[in-house]
Chain A
Amino acid sequence: MSLRKYVDKIKPNFMEGGKFHAFRSVFEGFETFLFVPNETRRTGVNIHDAIDSKRIMSLVCIALVPALLFGMYNVGYQNFMASGTEGSWFDMWLYGFLAVLPKIIVSYVTGLGIEFTVAQWKGEEIHEGFLVSGLLIPMIIPVNTPLWILVLATAFAVIFAKEIFGGTGMNIFNPALITRAFLFFSYPTCMTGDDSVWVSQNTICGLGGNVPDTFTAATPLGEVGAGMAPSASVLDCVIGTIPGSIGETSVIAIALGAILLLWTGVASWKTMLSVFVGGALMGELFHATGMSTLTAVDHLVVGGFCFGAVFMATDPVTSARTEGGKYIYGLLIGVVAVLVRVMNPGYPEGMMLAILLMNLFAPLIDYCFVQSNINRRAKRAIK
């Protein structure tokens, strides 16, 4: 408990009259992150879960770790393959680690910087929401995204998708997806462009190899969008050794995270399951009518479908909150995602747009379910 003692020792400095009183909210943010606060409210009665939102956020971050670690390995793997360099799996992982680390740091520094400033400015305690967003953002972008663009997009998302609505827990849209949407619409060449964005091009600290400028590697969905057959097999997609955004490629790594989320009850199995059902139904429909060469299974394993279904759609803040609403919400995400993929040639991947669209409709779905429940009970009371 030495850490507890240390925190208690420096605490008076940040309280009323202390030297660093101005940084009180920063201190409290860190203290409550490290230890569950044992203060109780002095007025009124509140019923609390045993787990608070900082602990939930930490769990989601842990669930993201397998996908992140595999994503790092895959970044290295793609570079080593493209440049023809020999290397052990650890060299590949280290290369990917060095390529991804700056993005994680930049995303956290930008986002937390803004959150801390706003909290300090308003005299509120620091919200913990960015803990997950800050890790999600580097995982849903191509590895070659320039850092300054990432700073801009993260700042945009934190300010306009989150702080404007009142901070953590109040946002309508998922901030990580708004970051991606901002990048996607503002700098399309960096996000899909000429297919050279998916594979890291240069050596880092002597690791890896230089890839010739003319080299391009399309994601399976990019290839389908261009009218070709995907060069990666379903097995490659499941394992994840394909070009794509950093964290989205491996179904297995995402499944590990999904198991943790479902086992701890952080994510709703209803949302997750119905996203897959919706995607599969729509994929099957398009495949049966010959509009898409991809089968239902292909649709579920390629691109960001799994990552979106597991980590984005189940976000407790932006998803539907009524239990029945979760089925509708998830189902429509799956349907719209595949719909966009197949019907819109401009957007080979539809998961981001589908989730953002349904984020918008989640309050309406909730309203309908709550209202129908009220009507049913009112009828019962009248009878």
Chain B
Amino acid sequence: MSKLFSKANKEALTGPLNLNNPVVVQVLGICSALAVTSQLKPAIVMGLSVTIITAFSNLVISLIRNTIPNRIRIIVQLVVVAALVTIVAQVLKAFAYDVSVQLSVYVGLIITNCILMGRLEAFAMMNGPWESFLDGIGNGVGYAMVLVIVGFVRELLGSGCLFGFQVVPQCLYDWGYMNNGMMTMPAMSLIIVGCVLWVHRSINKENK
């Protein structure tokens, strides 16, 4: 057990949550972070899907990494990712149809998510299955964290709801409060991602 969670493995799991965060530090996967975060629920589902796909594609590629011919490795990686994405898309359609409609094309576009290819190339091709699996979970959760923060702010200020439930009290609206329409537009999520980045960098100043 101690070997399963050695220091290096722990680092692979927790590093991406903070100092090596895929969105905030490596600035990958921004497009989907902008597109699906207008509400909290799709943001969480998207984060979960990416976590699962990253973890398992890392696992699969790491298992077969010694048999993949170097020249066609990108194609092999894409096939694995595409298969996993298709499975996740089908599961979403079967069990969470409304969210899958909301996410529409973005579930399919996980294939092109830079985080996935980045982790496969940079980590899974060189490390064992268990480490790769942990790395995939860490990166997926790091990505999901940012999505949840952005989704929280956007849904709260943009429509006054969280998970579709009204949280801004009616009396505020009676006093003249209004929802911010720009929060529901992708332009504003870019600014919020920027703010998250800003906060993160000013907290971790010494770790440049």
Residues of chain A at the chain B interface (Cβ within 8 Å): 146, 148-149, 160, 182, 185-190
Contacts and interface: CB of A to CB of B under 8 A. Distances in A.
B183 A186 contact: yes
B161 to A, nearest CB: 17
A187 B191 contact: no
8 contacts: A146-B176, A182-B182, A185-B181, A185-B185, A186-B181, A186-B182, A186-B183, A187-B180
Interface string B168-200: 000000001010111101010001000000000
Given A185-B181, A185-B185, A187-B178, 8 more contacts: A146-B176, A148-B176, A160-B191, A185-B187, A186-B181, A186-B182, A186-B183, A189-B178
A275 B183 CA distance: 33
B176 A186 contact: no
Interface residues of B, number: 9
A182 B182 CA distance: 7
Nearest to B191: A160
A74 B182 CA distance: 31
A213 to B, nearest CB: 15
The 10 closest A-B CB pairs, nearest first, are A186-B182, A185-B182, A186-B180, A186-B181, A187-B178, A146-B176, A188-B181, A185-B181, A160-B191, A187-B181
Nearest to B185: A185
Nearest to B177: A148
Interface of B: 176, 178, 180-183, 185, 187, 191
A189 B182 CA distance: 12
Prevailing SS type, chain B contact patch: helix
Contacts of B178: 149, 187, 189-190
Contacts of A182: 182
Nearest to A147: B176
The winner among A148, A182, A185, A190 for most chain B CB atoms within 10 A is: A185
A184 to B, nearest CB: 9
B98 to A, nearest CB: 27
Contacts of B180: 186-187
A182 B181 CA distance: 9
A160 B193 CA distance: 13
Nearest to B157: A186
Nearest to A186: B182
Nearest to B175: A148
Contacts of B176: 146, 148
Nearest to A146: B176
A160 B195 CA distance: 10
Contacts of A186: 180-183
Contacts of A187: 178, 180-181
Contacts of A185: 181-182, 185, 187
Contacts of B185: 185
Nearest to B178: A187
A186 B185 CA distance: 9
Nearest to A185: B182
B173 to A, nearest CB: 13
Contacts of A188: 181
A182 B187 CA distance: 11
A148 B180 CA distance: 12
A149 B182 CA distance: 13
Contacts of B187: 185
A221 B181 CA distance: 23
Nearest to B180: A186
A194 to B, nearest CB: 14
Centre residue among B176, B178, B185, B191 by max chain A CB count within 10 A: B178
Chain A CB within 10 A, most for which of B182, B185, B187, B191: B182
